[in-house]
Amino acid sequence: MREGTPVTPPPGGEFRRERLIRFSDCDPAGIVFYPQYFVMFNGLVEDWVNDGLAIGYRELIVEQRIGLPTVRLEADFRAVSRMGDHVILGLKVEQLGTRSITLGLHCFDAEGETRMRMRQVLVTTSLETHRAIEIPAHLRASIERGAT
Amino acid sequence: MREGTPVTPPPGGEFRRERLIRFSDCDPAGIVFYPQYFVMFNGLVEDWVNDGLAIGYRELIVEQRIGLPTVRLEADFRAVSRMGDHVILGLKVEQLGTRSITLGLHCFDAEGETRMRMRQVLVTTSLETHRAIEIPAHLRASIERGAT
Amino acid sequence: MREGTPVTPPPGGEFRRERLIRFSDCDPAGIVFYPQYFVMFNGLVEDWVNDGLAIGYRELIVEQRIGLPTVRLEADFRAVSRMGDHVILGLKVEQLGTRSITLGLHCFDAEGETRMRMRQVLVTTSLETHRAIEIPAHLRASIERGAT
Amino acid sequence: MREGTPVTPPPGGEFRRERLIRFSDCDPAGIVFYPQYFVMFNGLVEDWVNDGLAIGYRELIVEQRIGLPTVRLEADFRAVSRMGDHVILGLKVEQLGTRSITLGLHCFDAEGETRMRMRQVLVTTSLETHRAIEIPAHLRASIERGAT
């Protein structure tokens, strides 16, 4: 599989992308440096907003000045990922609040074994004030359309 | 305060270091890119092993081939940190298992306001097998000595 | 174009990949943080070794214990890249020495405008000693086959 | 020496800071991942603007909206740096143009052996337009005062 290739989603609709574990993702122990999982998932959220929701991520951040900071996350690291591994990253919307979006994210290998799993709560903010705002209507509509 | 300056710990013994929020820590929204908090805390754990426990981190990883991977973490992001902020990072051992160490970590400002807080469970592993091993006696002894 | 999509090379054989400029590549000025260009090019060299030379990069580093550290580079930054830009990264072998490989690398946009350009000299080293060694025969053969 | 400790400059005035090579700076080969040198030097420039020139870096970037992007660099990597090494980073102004500042930067160990050395040309830009502007008078005055 090629990096960035969309992966056929399971019924129920999970947004998926393949990702090659690169030299620059790994630490002196030869495995993914754990903060790098969050960088990879940030990229997945970016792809989801761009391709899954068909809202430009740049458009959202730069033009509309809406931020998507993380307010809470819980992560479990189950198995190590090594340089050269081809992993799959999956994203599912678990809950949609007034100002928050709860995502379920996981990283697994071709055999379906989970490497890392996390729940992440994002809030929509104004990038002028860094204060939480209601999820903008167009973003909510795209998410509700089940657009994963 | 100068970066890296040890900060007087509160009674009960928390290991603390000051950290300047740098340009390279921040994202296009002008605030700390959240995965960077984990990089900062990884540096704090490194300082704690070096200075708090008086065990060399390099010695542990490279010579003794003992890894300290994260198996679980829970994090709350309370307030944004901006480039140029001087924050304080604190570490406390919350629990010491047979093969795991639970740390309470937080990042706060000079007024004591919490920016980010997390609980992180590390396990000791053999870097040959990436399997969990019992916490080595010298590491356990240093931690129990309350060496924060 | 999709990220990672191979791009039709010009006559003369340049190895090319497309790359989306991501949120995590950018700095508080809203443009690519310049060290991140080197991370991107490191990924391109990785893709070139994997796909262009058909030698596994992981195989080379982890199994054969051969490193490819940089000994010299010269870089010119011509135009800024912004989050959401789709850029093309190109690689060409400029010179093949006994123990060194000189690469010409550039990053340009869809209109062909150069964003950044660099010449990088890599040497092959033993990862046991970090000393330079002769370019291994199989690596040299792949490069000479013009396998860009 | 403690990280961040100012190091006594040689006659002629070089701005210096000590830096611990951290786990997060290193790659699977166990040595500094070379783009990380540029992140370290970016931090040194930040410290120089803050402490050497007594102009706040945040002030410059965020309040005055003046950027300091790199337009050219040449770097030589002479010896590897490993996790746990204490290195010294040095900065010297080599040339001051109308809109550009040429810096000589190097990283060396306690014995004075050079690990990496680079020449970097920065330009002052407006962060509104990303176009080069003349070096602001207060910045030029600070630099000319030999404020290293």
User: What pLDDT is recorded for position B13?
Assistant: 80
Q: To probe the interface with C, which of A2, A17, A86 has the most C CB atoms within 10 Å? A: A2
* Band of pLDDT at residue D13, cut at 50, 70 and 90: confident
Residues 6+ away with beta carbon under 8 Å from B129: none
Q: Is D34 on the interface with C (CB under 8 A)?
A: yes
- CB A21 within 8 Å of CB C50: no
**What is the pTM assigned to this prediction?**
0.93
* pLDDT tens by residue, D93-119: 999 999 999 999 999 999 999 999 999
Q: List chain A residues with CB under 8 Å of B74.
A: 72-75
User: What pLDDT is recorded for position D1?
Assistant: 43
Position D2 pLDDT exceeds 60 = no
Write a three-state SS string for B77-137.
ECCCCECCCEEEEEEEEEEECCCEEEEEEEEECCCCCEEEEEEEEEECEECCCCCECCCCH
Query: Tokens for D141?
Result: 């005055």
Query: Tokens for A56?
Result: 């430009």
Residues 6+ away with beta carbon under 8 Å from C113: C78, C79
DSSP label at D142? H
Q: Is D33 on the interface with B (CB under 8 A)?
A: no
What Å distances lie between residue B129 and A107, B37, B72, D44, CA to CA? 21, 28, 20, 38
* pLDDT tens by residue, C21-70: 999 999 998 899 999 999 999 999 999 999 999 999 999 999 999 999 99
Residues 82-111 of C with CB under 8 A from D: none
Q: List chain C residues with CB under 8 Å of D130.
A: 29, 31, 80
Query: Tokens for C46?
Result: 């990785």
User: What pLDDT is recorded for position D82?
Assistant: 96
User: What pLDDT is recorded for position B5?
Assistant: 66
From C68's Cα to the closest Cα of chain D, the distance in A is 10
Chain B: list its partners (3+ Cβ pairs within 8 Å): A, C, D
CA atoms within 13 A on the CB side of D92: 14
Cβ contact, residue pair C28, B30, below 8 Å: yes
What Å distances lie between residue B43 and A60, A81, B60, B136, D20, CA to CA? 33, 21, 15, 21, 10
User: What pLDDT is recorded for position D148?
Assistant: 44
Residues 6+ away with beta carbon under 8 Å from A73: A38, A118, A119, A120, A121, B73, B74, B75
User: CA angle, B18 as apex, B14 and B20 as ends, to 5°?
Assistant: 150
Task: List the pLDDT tens digit at each of the 148 positions of chain A.
Answer: 455 666 665 555 899 999 999 999 999 988 999 999 999 999 999 999 999 999 999 999 999 999 999 999 999 999 999 999 999 999 999 999 999 999 999 999 999 999 999 999 999 999 999 899 999 999 999 999 874 4
Q: List chain C residues with CB under 8 Å of B35.
A: 24
* Band of pLDDT at residue B1, cut at 50, 70 and 90: very low
Chain D: list its partners (3+ Cβ pairs within 8 Å): A, B, C
Cβ contact, residue pair D22, B43, below 8 Å: yes
Query: Tokens for B112?
Result: 């004591």
Distance CA(C54)–CA(C48), nearest Å, equals 8
Left (φ > 0), alpha (ψ -120 to 50) or beta: where does C15 sit? beta
Q: Is A57 on the interface with B (CB under 8 A)?
A: no
DSSP label at A7? -
Nearest chain D alpha carbon to B41: D24
- CB A45 within 8 Å of CB A91: yes
Position with higher pLDDT, B57 vs A7:
B57
Residues 6+ away with beta carbon under 8 Å from C91: C14, C15, C16, C41, C44, C45, C48, C52, C103, C104, C105, C148
Position with higher pLDDT, C3 vs B100:
B100
From A77's Cα to the closest Cα of chain B, the distance in A is 5
pLDDT, averaged across chain D: 92
Closest-CA residue to C121 (of C75, C71, C76): C71
* pLDDT tens by residue, D66-96: 999 999 999 999 999 999 999 999 999 999 9
Closest-CA residue to A68 (of A104, A138, A148, A122): A122
User: What pLDDT is recorded for position A30?
Assistant: 86
Q: Is A23 on the interface with C (CB under 8 A)?
A: yes
> CB atoms < 10 A from the CB of D98, how many?
11
DSSP label at D24? G
Query: Tokens for A8?
Result: 């056929």
Nearest to B80 among A36, A73, A130 (CB): A130
Nearest chain B alpha carbon to A127: B29
DSSP label at D92? E
- CB C55 within 8 Å of CB C147: no
Distance CA(D84)–CA(C114), nearest Å, equals 38
Q: List chain C residues with CB under 8 Å of D70.
A: 34, 77
- CB C125 within 8 Å of CB C71: no
User: What pLDDT is recorded for position B29?
Assistant: 86
**CA-based diameter of chain C, in Å?**
45
User: What pLDDT is recorded for position D90?
Assistant: 98
* pLDDT tens by residue, A43-81: 999 999 999 999 999 999 999 999 999 999 999 999 999
* pLDDT tens by residue, C84-101: 999 999 999 999 999 999
- Average confidence (pLDDT) over B3-14: 65
* Band of pLDDT at residue C1, cut at 50, 70 and 90: very low
Residues 6+ away with beta carbon under 8 Å from D59: B84
Chain C: list its partners (3+ Cβ pairs within 8 Å): A, B, D
> CB atoms < 10 A from the CB of A126, how many?
13
Query: Tokens for C130?
Result: 């970090």
